[in-house]
Amino acid sequence: MTAVHDHSHWHSPWGPADRIGAANFITPAKRLAALRSIAEGRVHDLSHEIHAGAPFMAPNQTPFLLSLWASWRDSIRRRRGLGFRNDAGSNVERIEMTAHVGTHIDALGHFSIGERLYNGLSAPETVGDWGLAQLGIEQAPPLITRGVLLDVAGLDGGAHLQPGRAIAPDELARAADAAGLALEPGDIVLIRTGWGRYFGTDNARYLAGEPGIDVPAARWLTAQGVAAIGCDNMAVEVLPNPDHGLALPVHQHALVEAGVYLIENLALEELAAARVTACCVILLPVKFRGATGCPVRPVALV
């Protein structure tokens, strides 16, 4: 039986001080090539709106809550009391959420294998009540690189794959061949399963399970040197896992062993409809110190 985890991958090839993982593959030359590929100036938004109706995976996640902390009425009264004459009203909200609601990216410190995090860091020494002392999302650099869309939604003859359907390495390879592309180090791979159509429209169905990659496909992708793997589902990986004794092993391999970022709840329908296969992706993680991830608004430029 093949081991689920290859412990030799727990230490970064970029040295003991590395905290950004496979983002090291995104070199200045890689960024320039992606930016120079933009020919038309068209932008495709790859994110969903974040709101109270967005799906979330309980109990580890909590719903998105937004309330107005101060409104124009309060601020006008206060400013009048201070002698201002121009009735300047302002509205300010308070937001409560996890970093994993809506379209978001996982920090490398989001997952562990036992007590080990990426690059061999100790979870007991790194994970505290107020966040991650290391490997928080603030460590992730701006991701500006080539994005490659692997559209596998129609593999089984329908509009989307079904929950529990694991995407195999050879199926990803054939999707790349069909697009006329070869994966390169530093790419962001965008996998379209078609499941994203249920985000915010049928949350119960969206959360009940999902098609996605399993460990063999994840290993195939990380072996190509990709910087990040994104998908139009909640967890990138297939749920439930075909081996019911495994819980989220793709997260463990990608984040802990390979230092490859995971981007979840992507909106890929527009990109696929436009028949875009390669693009320049710009994704800027928000620097929430110690956070295990953050909401993002990635865009594809062509």
**pLDDT exceeds cutoff 70 at 3:** no
Residue 4's pLDDT is 60
Q: What is the pLDDT, as a whole number, of residue 9?
A: 55
Give the rounded percent of residues in the chain with a pLDDT score beyond 90.
95
Q: Which domains does the chain have, with CATH numbers?
A: 13-49+99-301 (3.50.30.50), 65-96 (no CATH)
Residue 114, CA atoms < 13 Å, CB-side half-sphere: 6
pLDDT confidence of residue 2:
42
**pLDDT of 49 above 70:** yes
- Cβ pair 292, 136 in contact under 8 A: yes
pLDDT at residue 1 above 70?
no
Residue 230 pLDDT greater than 50, yes or no: yes
> Which range, of 7-16, 80-89, 210-219, averages the lowest pLDDT?
7-16
Average pLDDT over residues 187-215: 98
Is the bond leading into 59 cis (omega within 30 degrees of zero)?
yes
Q: What is the mean pLDDT of residues 103-130?
A: 97
Query: How confident is the model over 65-75, as pLDDT tens digits?
Result: 999 999 999 99
Mean of pLDDT over the chain: 95
